[in-house]
Amino acid sequence: MRLILLLFVLLSQLSYSQNPYRIRAEKNLPYLVRDSSLYKQININEYGVFIYAPDNLDYAETKIQWSEVESFLREHHFTSQKTPSNPKKNSLKGIHIALDPGHFANNMETAILERKFMKIDKKDTGTKKDIAFYESDLAWNTAYILSKRLEAKGCNVLITRKKGKTSFGMNFKKWKKKSFKKSLQEDFKNKIIDKKKYDWYLNEATDKDIAKYLNRKDLMNRAKIINEFEPHLTINIHYNASSDRTDANGNFPAIKNNYCMAFTGGGFMKNELNSKEARMNFLRLLLSEDLEQSILFSSVVMKYHQSIAKVPVIPNKNNLRYLQKNSVYADQPGVYCRNLGLTRRVKGTICFGESLMQDNINEAVLLNLKNYKEAGIKTSSRIKLVVDAFEAGIWEYLGNEE
Ligand SMILES: [Zn+2]
C-alpha cells in the first residue's frame, strides 16, 4: 500500500513537472528577474503560479493553477496573435506589423530638449562640415521606408507617429500649448501627481522637464496604440549613442566603437513589481509565448544587422551599465531582456532595436549624408541597410523564403 502511495505521489509530481506551462514559466523566470529581491513576490510550484503584492506577502494577489493558465491568458487577451501560415509565398497578407520610430523631435531645437541629437565637430570627423542630425528623424525615415516595402507585400502596417510628431499627433510645441495642462489636470485627478508637483510643472518646469514628462506620456500612449492594433510583430526603431555628455560647444566626441543590440521584455529590477499593472505584464511574459518569440525574432534581426548592415552585435563581455546591471542576457548574440516601458507593455512579439552607434565616426559621417532615396524620402544609405536588415529579419521569422 505504502509503495503504491509513493508511486502515486511520484507519478503525479512527474505529470505536474511536465506541464508545458510550468516548463515555460521555469524557463522564462531567470530572464524576467534581474533583481533577486523580486523572488519573494513570485512562487512557482507544483500547483501553479502565485504572485504577491510587495505589501502583502502573506496572501497571493493572483493565483493561477496550471490547468487554468490557458483560460487566464485568453481572458486577459495575452495570447499572441497567431501568425497565419502564409498560404501565398512571398506575401505578408494578413500580417499586422507595428513600427515604432523612437522619439519625436521635429527640429534640432526639440531634439536637444529630448537629448536625442548628434553633433560632432568637423575637426573630429575630418569632414568639410560639422555633423548634425537627430535620432527622431533617422528612426522615422527607417520606419517609413520599411512600411512601404512591407505594404507592397500585402502587410498591414501601423507607424505609431507621424514625422516630427508624438503619438498624440502633435509636435512638442503644439502639444505643450494644447495638451500639457489638460494632461496635468488628469494626472492630478488620478493622484499621479500632487498639487505641489502640479503647480511646479505649470509654473517652474523648463521645456526640458516638460519634454521628459511628455516622453513618459508618449511611451504609454504608443503602447496603447500598438496593443489596440494587435500586431503579429512590433519593432521599436532606435539609434544608439555611447555618451550623453557634450563639450562646451554642445558637441559629442566621435568614437571608434560600433555595435547593435536588441531588447525584449523581462529583466525586472528592484521595486519593478510594485504596481498591479507591472505584475500582470510579468505574468503575461512568464506564461505566454511572448518572451520566447521576442527573443527568437530579435536574434534573427540581429543576425541580419551583422550580415547586411555590417554592424557587429555588442559582445556579451562589455562594460555597458544598462546591459550589465539593468538587463539579462537572452543567450542570443546582442539580445537582452530589459524592462522598458514599451517592452513591458506591448503584447506579443517585440524587437526593440538599437541598430548602430550614431557617434561612431564612420556612422556619423555616413548618417549625415543624404545619398539615398526611396519612397520619396531622401536619407543616408546607412538607413537603407538597416531597413534591409529588419526586412530580412521579418521575412525569415515569418517563415518566408529569400
Ligand atoms: Zn532612441
pLDDT tens-digit profile, the chain (402 residues)? 566 666 666 555 555 557 999 999 999 999 999 999 999 999 999 999 999 999 999 999 999 999 999 999 998 888 776 666 655 677 899 999 999 999 999 999 999 999 999 999 999 999 999 999 999 999 999 999 999 999 999 999 999 999 999 999 999 999 999 999 999 999 999 999 999 999 999 999 999 999 999 999 999 999 999 999 999 999 999 999 998 789 999 999 999 999 999 999 999 999 999 999 999 999 999 999 999 999 999 999 999 999 999 999 999 999 999 999 999 999 999 999 999 999 999 999 999 999 999 999 999 999 999 999 999 999 999 999 999 999 999 999 998 765
Q: What is 96-165+210-397's CATH number, 3.60.20.10, 3.40.50.20, 3.40.50.300, 3.40.630.40?
A: 3.40.630.40
Task: List beta partners, residue 133.
Answer: 118
Distance 30 CA to ligand 1 centre (A): 26
Q: Which of helix, strand or coil describes residue 270?
A: coil
Distance 115 CA to ligand 1 centre (A): 10
Q: Is the dihedral of CA 86, 91, 94, 97 positive or negative?
A: positive
Distance 253 CA to ligand 1 centre (A): 18
At CA 385, angle to CA 159 and CA 326, rounded to 5?
65
163 close to 106: Cβ distance less than 8 angstroms: yes
Distance 66 CA to ligand 1 centre (A): 39
Q: How far apart are CA 335 and CA 264, in angstroms?
A: 7
Phi/psi zone of residue 177: left (φ > 0), alpha (ψ -120 to 50 degrees), beta? alpha
Grid cell listed for 310: 555590417
Q: How far apart are CA 136 and CA 113, in angstroms?
A: 12
3-state SS string over 51-114?
Answer: ECECCECCCCCEEEEHHHHHHHHHHCCCCCCCCCCCCCCCCCCCCEEEEEECCCCCCHHHHHHC
Residue type, 198: Y
Distance 88 CA to ligand 1 centre (A): 36
Distance 42 CA to ligand 1 centre (A): 32
Domain ranges of the chain: 96-165+210-397
